[in-house]
Amino acid sequence: MHAPIVIGIGNDFRGDDAAGLEAARLLRGMLPPEVPVIENEGDPAELIEAWTGVDLVIVIDTAISGAPPGAVVRHTVLGSSPAQGDAPQPPPTTIQYASSHALGVVDAVALGHALGRLPRELALYTIEGADFGLGAPMTPAVRHAVEETVATIADLVPQSSVRLRPS
Amino acid sequence: MTHKSIRIGGLTRVEGEGSLLVRARDGRVTDVELNIYEPPRFFEALLRGRDHTEPPDITARICGICPVAYQMSACQAIEAACGIEVTGPLRDLRLLLYYGEWIESHALHICLLHAPDFLGYDSGVAMAADHRHLVERGLTLKKAGNELVAALGGRAIHPVNVRVGGFYRAPARAELAPVAERLRRAREEALATVEWVAGFDFPDVEHDYRFLALHHPAEYAILSGTIAVSDGTGFAAADWPAHIVEEQVPHSTALHARLDGTAGYLVGALARYALNGRQLSPLARSAAEAAGLGPVCRNPFRSIVVRAVEILHACDEAIRIIEDYTEPQAPSIPAEPRPGVGHGVSEAPRGTLYHRYRIDGAGLIAEADIVPPTSQNQARIEMDLRHLVEPRLDLPEAELAALCERAVRNHDPCISCSAHFLHLHLDR
């Protein structure tokens, strides 16, 4: 499989935790049709199922790391994701993910590793959240960050598709 | 005078927050506090003023693991208020959707959250490194459940196809054929899972539980029925408020439920099995017998076996429904609002889930009340812990704390998902 897949993770009812889902919805209308865009509400088994055998996976999730609200960081969790914008950060080990469910992306990667079911490359975009209240709207800084991240990924994905196509 | 405290804090990131504190003095347990903060309280306020068609979609968001349970109890409560009842192929489809969720939820709990307790691992991830095929089997089962939920609900998590009165769209027979094929393979995996977990080493513990579960005359009750209690009493869903009363306790923002004035009844897999075990599918019943469960199981550590049997039953029954399925004439029946109160009860994977709504003549919700299984089981879990810990106070700290965590996870409360990430402090 040569097209990357994009996964947005979040919870629509937990304020800024909706950022990943919102990014996925915006990207669905912008990316080439052969690029699957998946909304995931916190199920690690679904993540593993989605990325098994895939070359490049781009994941968008909300995080709490102490950075200012709306701060976007690109982490190269696996492989060497194509450069775009700021230099990639090392894989996160201490970020507290804002998922309201049991396991986060890091756990899904660990489980995928144990099962031998990882993609070749996994780039994780985290958007720093501020308000995770039940029923809260996304804060303006996070909403702005979602739009920025979407624009970055919309530029990145076609390049990745070309790069990953066998010569 | 000796004091001992086991403090387990930071139960986060699932359905609210929780912690556990056990205090002992001179060899006697003086306090057990299972402290859970429950999101459903906020949802009840959120529902007020919304249209009567909205609770299935709104309450589905209470839980990412059992949204169908919330949808089914909500739909049935609203339909009761509107004076309608969903029957025939539409009811079969609801049951089918619910079986999908049961398979998803039980497979996740057994293979990633509960089995590590018996095999000596801190987490399902750690267990996967040594027992890859067992975790893969759990994921295979879960995938079969996900596909069933997606086929009926539009997607595997937080289904969007459920509505008051039925569904937005009913599947064609041909659409369900590949799902049935997957379920036939899953049924084999489920049978193997029963045999696997039946061989675990179980602590020799039994409690004199007072069980409560739905009962239906014609099926192993999941979707609807009357409420049965193991002392031989029972009541209709509409009488729930007369029997089940929630109260505040000083150490928790969560409510504790009392049954006819008594705290500490149990809902969930053990209760369902004790009250309805004879109605399991023949295959599930024989698997339970071979697993040594007997007609009633009072050992909470063996609840993992009951859940595996319930997966087998769900696969079996789902296949039967698909094979017998006839497409309904319409995907839903009208549910015109009228002023009144409706009660809805169904069996979530973790136990009995009750919804009550009062709606006005315009169809707006004036009152909402939701009683989830974990709230009902809290007092009983505290009693389990008290009985478990007191005769074992001389055990090493880490061993005792681990046993407490296992005792909590036996009941698969919503907080169990985070229980493997506990920070533990033991103060003497």
CA A66 to chain centre: 19
Please name the amino acid found at residue B298: R
Q: Give the pLDDT mean for A1-30.
A: 88
Max Cα separation, chain B? 73
Mean pLDDT of all residues in chain B?
88
Q: Model confidence over A70-107: pLDDT tens digits?
A: 999 998 888 765 444 444 444 444 444 444 345 678 78
Is the CB of A45 less than 8 angstroms away from the CB of B157?
Answer: no
Quick one: pLDDT at residue A29? 87
For residues A20 and B6, what is the distance between their CA atoms, to the nearest angstrom? 38
Which distant-in-sequence residues (6+ apart) come within 8 Å of B27 by Cβ?
Answer: B2, B390, B393
Quick one: pLDDT at residue A110? 87
Q: Model confidence over B345-404: pLDDT tens digits?
A: 999 999 999 999 999 989 999 999 888 888 889 899 999 999 998 999 888 888 888 888
Q: Model confidence over A46-65: pLDDT tens digits?
A: 899 899 989 999 999 998 88
Q: What is the helix (H) or strand (E) element at residue B143, kind and residue range?
A: helix B132-153
Please name the amino acid found at residue A43: D
Quick one: what percent of chain A has pLDDT higher than 70? Answer: 79
For residues A30 and B17, what is the distance between their CA atoms, to the nearest angstrom? 38
Indicate if the pLDDT at residue B165 is higher than 70.
yes
Indicate if the pLDDT at residue A150 is higher than 60.
yes
pLDDT class of B112 with cuts at 50, 70, 90: confident
Is the CB of A99 less than 8 angstroms away from the CB of B139?
Answer: no
CA B226 to chain centre: 17
Work out whether the CA dihedral B224, B226, B227, B230 comes out positive or negative.
Answer: negative
Quick one: pLDDT at residue B40? 45
pLDDT class of B236 with cuts at 50, 70, 90: very high
Q: From the CA of B136, how many Å to the nearest CA of chain A?
A: 8
For residues B376 and B257, what is the distance between their CA atoms, to the nearest angstrom? 5
Residues within 8 A of B (CB atoms), A 8-47 only: 11-13, 40-43, 45-46
CA A122 to chain centre: 9
Cβ B2 vs Cβ B26: under 8 Å: yes
Write a three-state SS string for B376-394: HHHHHHHHHHHHHHHHHCC
Closest partner residue to B125 (CB to CB) among A13, A99, A110 is A110
Is the CB of B156 less than 8 angstroms away from the CB of A43?
Answer: yes
Chain B interface, mutation test: which of A14, A43, A61, A62, most B Cβ atoms within 10 Å?
A43
* DSSP β-ladder status, B244-249 and B252-259: antiparallel
Quick one: pLDDT at residue A102? 52
Closest partner residue to A115 (CB to CB) among B128, B143, B157 is B128
Q: Model confidence over B204-232: pLDDT tens digits?
A: 999 999 999 999 999 999 999 999 999 99
Work out whether the CA dihedral A107, A110, A111, A112 comes out positive or negative.
Answer: positive
Closest partner residue to B132 (CB to CB) among A48, A115, A134 is A115
Question: A10 versus B243: which is more confidently predicted?
Answer: B243
Outline where B154-223 has alpha helix (H).
Answer: 173-198
Q: Where are the beta strands (DSSP E) in B202-320?
A: 212-215, 226-229, 234-235, 244-249, 252-259, 262-263
Q: Model confidence over B4-54: pLDDT tens digits?
A: 776 655 332 234 456 788 888 888 888 888 876 544 456 777 888 999 999
Chain B interface, mutation test: which of A111, A113, A117, A118, most B Cβ atoms within 10 Å?
A111
Quick one: pLDDT at residue B253? 59
For residues B158 and B150, what is the distance between their CA atoms, to the nearest angstrom? 9
Quick one: pLDDT at residue B170? 96
Q: What is the helix (H) or strand (E) element at residue A96, kind and residue range?
A: strand A96-97
Kindly list the residues of chain B whose beta carbon comes within 8 Å of any beta carbon in chain A.
Answer: 13-14, 39, 42-43, 46, 61, 64-65, 108, 112-113, 124-126, 128-129, 132, 135-136, 139, 142-143, 146, 156-158, 417-418
Q: Give the pLDDT mean for A105-114.
A: 86
- Nearest-CA residue of chain B relative to A45? B139
Cβ A21 vs Cβ A143: under 8 Å: no
Residue B126 class from Cβ within 10 Å (0-12 exposed, 13-18 middle, 19+ buried)?
A: middle
Question: What torsion do the CA atoms of B46, B51, B53, B58 make, to the nearest 10 degrees?
Answer: -20
Phi, psi of B295 (to 5 degrees): -70, -30
Quick one: what percent of chain B has pLDDT higher than 70? Answer: 89
Say whether A105 sits in a helix, a strand or coil.
helix
Which residues of chain B lie closer than 8 angstroms to A13, CB-CB?
A: 61
Q: Give the pLDDT mean for B68-77.
A: 95
Closest partner residue to B156 (CB to CB) among A13, A46, A102 is A46
Q: From the CA of A1, how many Å to the nearest CA of chain B?
A: 21
Chain B interface, mutation test: which of A12, A103, A109, most B Cβ atoms within 10 Å?
A103
CA B246 to chain centre: 19
Q: Model confidence over B257-275: pLDDT tens digits?
A: 899 999 899 999 999 999 9
Nearest Cα to B78, choosing from B357, B364, B366, B362?
Answer: B357
Quick one: pLDDT at residue B6? 62
Quick one: pLDDT at residue B422? 30
CA-to-CA dists, residue A93 to A22, A77, A110, B258, angstroms: 25, 10, 11, 43
Quick one: pLDDT at residue B38? 46
Cβ A57 vs Cβ A121: under 8 Å: yes
Quick one: pLDDT at residue B179? 95
Is the CB of B42 less than 8 angstroms away from the CB of A135?
Answer: yes
Quick one: pLDDT at residue B39? 46
Indicate if the pLDDT at residue A166 is higher than 80.
no
Residues in chain A: 167
Q: From the CA of A6, how many Å to the nearest CA of chain B?
A: 17
* DSSP β-ladder status, A5-9 and A37-40: parallel
Q: Give the pLDDT mean for B300-310.
A: 97
Quick one: what percent of chain B has pLDDT higher than 90? Answer: 66
Quick one: pLDDT at residue A11? 84
Which distant-in-sequence residues (6+ apart) come within 8 Å of A152 by Cβ?
Answer: A72, A84, A85, A125
Whether the model clears a pTM of 0.90, i.e. scores above it, the answer is no
Nearest Cα to B278, choosing from B268, B288, B267?
Answer: B288
Closest partner residue to A134 (CB to CB) among B14, B42, B126 is B42
Size of interface A-B (CB pairs under 8 A): 64
Quick one: pLDDT at residue B17? 58
Q: Model confidence over B306-339: pLDDT tens digits?
A: 999 999 999 999 999 999 999 999 999 999 999 9
Q: From the CA of A107, how many Å to the nearest CA of chain B?
A: 7
Nearest-5° Cα angle at B74, B44 to B271: 100
Say whether A147 sits in a helix, a strand or coil.
helix
